Structure 1
């Protein structure tokens, strides 16, 4: 058993290093191009380019936070932070989503102003920069998607950003083509608003997910009532499951529960059986199980004010 565990651990380590390298490369590409787009946006007077650059700024921030988060996640737990620093990744995703929403609202505001005071835009400069930006985004997206990106909220956040960027660059190219062919300037703010709507959608979802995790919310794929029923049905000695808490620490589910059981012939075997069940059916590898032969008095196992510790202390 130990050898498979080590092997898995080693594999995970190499994945993390791979993720790290990909993040570094994507960060470099994005940061350089953000500067190019800001310059291009100012030179050509294009808001769509600036919208895309604002987008790339949050991208670069997203990638930087993801990089820091990967760094922190590798730190070992200690007596002050018994879970290590895994939560930092979630916090990074949360701050990142907030930044995204703020920048987007600023760009929408500027776009609305431009409808009332149209602004001339240099189509060719805009076109060249937008095409270059599109290529840079494709490169970043390829870098991020090749990794184990699906599983990690920060890589996913970063890939979402870059995807929004891709659309932003496409928008800027379309705007440039229309300006060059017809000279119709309002297309620039119109497209910057469209890009902003796409960004708002992904930002809002990211904000919701990360906030849920920061508030110790139950992982969305786990139904606690179903879990309680299944444990009682599938393990004959278990009579009742209560006082269940499940939360996420850096994408890993952690759980505590009380199990009222019929006094077993082999206490440890029953405990292992419960833990194996949770691992096999719910992928919960870190579960703390308190086994009892009598039911808990109701007020003994809540987290609520005045219960729990004071009560237990009183008993002693």
Structure 2
């Protein structure tokens, strides 16, 4: 098997607060292959954004390793991360918050080239014009400030900025959740077109399973800081092996409810607190199939069928 582009190996991250220790991630392992889109789904608070920030090396894990193209980058700091930054880019959920309100769009797009010392002034202007054209922004937008653009246009700016250094991987952290439905479809299609044109990979993070299904080659499902299922998109969607995945799919809105592949079985109870996760399987407090074993021993990810992994004692 070829070396994955980006891999997280047994990564954990805990946050110490006045109320106690928040176990945001516990032993998460993921791999993104070259040119693929790996979708990451789960309820709010399950640790998806922490995965994104660790993958980007914006924060460091407490344990585990981050490996880029076969090279361990976990211990890199400061200037040693500069070559990594050009290969990994991120599109955040709120484009208004991720763009400097006092900096014109053209300058915001040029800044990555300046920081990484790419090209002269004329070449950088040409690159900015190219990126704006690729994401469907008119040339005159280069002189505008972010507040003069719509939400969809600002997110296109964020995508264009991520393209400036021609990265190998773009992490999209809830990149379309703040957009109107019609604009959301345009941005999703734009991301698909850019992937086809440039062969980049995506780590696509969302709580919306239907969007992830549309975008992804493989899907990973997280629950309370752990990966509970991962596999090829159609295998996870059509034959989910974990009861949490089945509940997520059953709860997803459908234009044709009669065509549902999973019976509708809504979860009972609230998501447990990451300050005090349940012992054993973390899902056992909401699982209709939980047994004594589930309350005592945490299941490990096992390969049930080729490429389809699940953490469940009874999968």
TM-score, structure 1 normalization: 0.24
More helix, by proportion: 1
Greater RCO (CA < 8 Å, at least 6 residues apart): 2
Structure having the higher Rg: 1
TM-score, structure 2 normalization: 0.24
More strand, by proportion: 2
